[in-house]
């Protein structure tokens, strides 16, 4: 008789950062393979999934995307951080405010998700917009080092943008997620 298929392990990864940095576009791109035609502001929590194969094992990557709005966060936040395997902090390289918000997001995460035992990465999104950079790579790298996180600069829209829209660390969103 046939053995039951092995259970697919699920990796829960939460994506955090200010509203507008591209969390929905990044998760959509990773799961649907393309930049969304149009996105609506996320309400509450959305999650998207993609099956990947790692060392011959099929693994379900579950990306949790949130709304930044306070009124949703208050009720959702506990649920959101439960049993998290990894955290992705996102800022927008064309928006210094979104970079300055990172310490607050990191603090929230520390309080809810078992301190720093959970793997965390830092993602600077929208690096296709090279003419509007407000957060330089050096500054971001210093911040990432200070918080012991790897930094990836990328673009949900045009992850292969070269010709000096070149995305420094990672030229594909899939490499980060
Ligand atoms: P969220 O609030 O963090 O979920 O941000 P969204 O994913 O809704 O994106 C906010 C806006 O930024 C939308 O207008 C997107 O089209 C745009 N956007 C997201 N990612 C990128 C990117 O990599 N490059 C560019 N140029 N625009 C982006
Ligand atoms: Mg969103």
Provide ipTM, 2 decimals.
0.99
**pTM for the full predicted model:** 0.86
Please state whether beta strands 57-66 and 45-54 pair in parallel, antiparallel, or not at all (unpaired): antiparallel
Which one of the ligands is nearest to 23 CA?
A: 1
- CA 73 to centroid of chain Cα atoms: 17
Q: Kind and range of the H or E element at 153?
A: strand 151-153
Q: How far is the CA of 24 from the centre of ligand 2 (A)?
A: 4
For residue range 34-85, list pLDDT tens digits in order: 888 877 766 666 778 999 988 888 999 999 987 665 555 666 777 788 889 9
Q: How far is the CA of 44 from the centre of ligand 2 (A)?
A: 9
Look at residue 48 and give its three-state secondary structure: strand
* Residue ranges in the chain modelled with pLDDT below 70: 41-45, 67-75, 113-116, 159-177
Q: How far is the CA of 28 from the centre of ligand 1 (A)?
A: 11
Which one of the ligands is nearest to 129 CA?
A: 1
CA distance 3 to 92: 48
* Residues flanking ion ligand 2, Cβ below 5 Å: 24, 42
């Amino acid at each position: 008789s046939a053995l039951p298929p092995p259970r697919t392990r699920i990796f829960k990864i939460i994506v955090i950062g200010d509203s507008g940095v591209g969390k929905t576009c990044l998760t959509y791109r990773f799961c649907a393979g393309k930049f969304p035609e149009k996105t609506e502001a996320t309400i509450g929590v959305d999650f998207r999934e993609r099956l990947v194969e790692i060392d011959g094992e099929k693994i379900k990557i579950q990306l949790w995307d949130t709304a930044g709005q306070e009124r949703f966060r208050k009720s959702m936040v506990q649920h959101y951080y439960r049993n998290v395997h990894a955290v992705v902090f996102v800022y927008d390289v064309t928006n210094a405010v979104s970079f300055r918000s990172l310490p607050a997001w990191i603090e929230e995460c520390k309080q809810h998700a078992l301190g720093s035992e959970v793997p965390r990465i830092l993602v600077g999104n929208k690096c296709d917009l090279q003419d509007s950079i407000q957060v330089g790579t050096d500054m971001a790298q210093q911040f990432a080092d200070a918080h012991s996180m790897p930094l990836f600069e990328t673009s949900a829209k045009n992850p292969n943008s070269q010709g000096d829209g070149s995305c420094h660390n990672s030229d594909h969103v899939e490499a980060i997620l």
